[in-house]
Chain A
């Protein structure tokens, strides 16, 4: 060993000794001193997954509420809010399930709460029940007329606009403003209970629109059903087309939107 170092000048030999010692120290520190979790990324990840799993749950889930509040649950199950989780409105309730007396979930009573879902917004899907919060019984709390667990309207709406506000508002400023929805649609009673499974009828033929808009419509309207004077004059004043020549290949609503018929000059 001494002979090996004699080959180098003295300072270099010392440096070699120091370097070897440092490398040895480094290897020792890595192998012995560093704990395994610091070195092994798999252990770190398993640890992270464990920590993630241990995070507290705050929403108890829809099964938990039914255990005690079975009556409300049964009521809700039959109403329009059947698909809503209790915690959608009442907030996270895991703490309440663990200590029912101390921790109470919130009961939203403010008038601003329900319009979060039910205020009119044209981006909302058609047919979703929407109201104008400014005009709809101002300052009255929603719960004074509606039971949120079985949200029937206080009286079954005769007006289709209760749900189809978007269409009603559109029709109100269109040339079809004087036509009732029932002139063109037949809504079965069941539609008001299960709006999506039982749908109202829609006109199927060109001749339906032709009752008012065909060239000889005035006579047809007289002969047809509902021969009231008002309707007659409506039909008489409607723009007329020649059914034989005008877009014969298509049904009317493939080009025209009946709720807001465009006016071409």
Chain B
């Protein structure tokens, strides 16, 4: 009787502790895997933006709306361009431009402007995305080539991801009432074409490509420029890389 009891007790404790240790071992490497670069030979898409080439013509915003059926109203955007104006007193104003904007009063040679430039923005397709983490129904997810997509069939439109995105890259589509965001034009890049905004950019401000490719405009962009990402302190590991980014840009 005693022998059987002690045997059972010992057997159970080994089972439980083994399970715990095994569980920990199983969790740890899988997390480490997620942070590593993807295996070679697989696509891992990234995006480059040269700040000093952008002329703020908003062709990219227009093309994105054409390509992806984004509502025409100015506040529904998958990609947008911000105009930064830093004044001599250190004050910085940021305003998203709209296609066909007339030059405003501050565009006339204004002696108080210290520097001014445009910053194109889009979904950063983070390697560890906050939006994927918070989605309660698993509707937003990362594909194996690193693009964060929204499954509009399972999205319940709770807006949690819109709140969670530190870059403000998402909006609620007024027709489908689901979250919508830049997909790097997934339907285009899976056919080997460039995203629509990259296609129409007149000054090659926007560069798109596979980060694993040995020689491509994208890898050259990363090699030849000093690269920043937006809000690197949040550990979202963005895959939209900026060259010559001003410190004021968040």
Contact = CB atoms under 8 A, between A and B. Distances in A.
Interface of A: 41, 44-45, 47-49, 51-59, 61-62, 81, 83-85, 87-88, 91-92, 112, 116-117, 119-125, 128, 166, 169-170, 173
A170 to B, nearest CB: 7
Contact of B149 (A41, A48, A170): A48
A47 B149 CA distance: 12
Contacts of B151: 44-45, 47-48
A123 B199 contact: no
B83 A62 contact: no
B96 interface: no
Given A56-B187, A58-B66, A112-B100, A122 B113 contact: yes
Contacts of B54: 125
B17 interface: no
Nearest to B116: A123
A122 to B, nearest CB: 5
A44 B57 contact: no
B52 A125 contact: yes
24 contacts: A41-B138, A48-B141, A48-B149, A48-B153, A49-B143, A49-B149, A52-B149, A52-B183, A54-B187, A81-B202, A85-B199, A85-B202, A88-B63, A88-B201, A88-B202, A117-B55, A117-B202, A122-B107, A122-B113, A124-B55, A124-B56, A125-B53, A125-B54, A125-B55
Contacts of B52: 125
B188 A57 contact: yes
B2 interface: no
A125 B153 CA distance: 43
Interface in B191-213: 191, 193-194, 196, 199-204
A188 B238 CA distance: 43
B13 interface: no
Interface centre among B63, B200, B204, by most chain A C-beta atoms within 10 angstroms, is B200
B103 interface: yes
B114 to A, nearest CB: 11
Contacts of A166: 109
B44 interface: no
Contacts of B76: none
A73 to B, nearest CB: 16
Given A56-B187, A121-B56, A169 B109 contact: yes
Interface centre among B68, B109, B116, B194, by most chain A C-beta atoms within 10 angstroms, is B109
Given A49-B149, A91-B66, A128-B203, 18 more contacts: A45-B138, A45-B141, A47-B151, A49-B186, A52-B149, A53-B187, A57-B188, A59-B193, A85-B200, A92-B63, A92-B66, A92-B196, A116-B59, A117-B59, A121-B55, A122-B116, A124-B56, A170-B109
B42 to A, nearest CB: 15
B67 A59 contact: yes
Interface of B: 52-59, 63, 66-68, 83-85, 99-100, 103, 107, 109-110, 113, 116-118, 138, 141, 143, 149-154, 183, 186-188, 190-191, 193-194, 196, 199-204
B186 A116 contact: no
A62 B200 CA distance: 9
Contacts of A173: 109
For the complex of A and B, the 4 pairs showing the least CB-CB separation, nearest first, are A48-B151, A55-B187, A123-B116, A88-B200
A62 B151 CA distance: 30
Contact of A121 (B107, B143, B203, B204): B107
B187 A116 contact: no
A112 to B, nearest CB: 7
A87 B194 CA distance: 13
Nearest to B110: A122
Contacts of B143: 45, 49
A92 B197 CA distance: 11
B199 A120 contact: no
Contacts of A116: 57-59, 99-100
Given A45-B141, A88-B59, A122-B107, A62 B199 contact: yes
Nearest to B183: A52
Contacts of A52: 149, 183, 186-187
B56 to A, nearest CB: 6
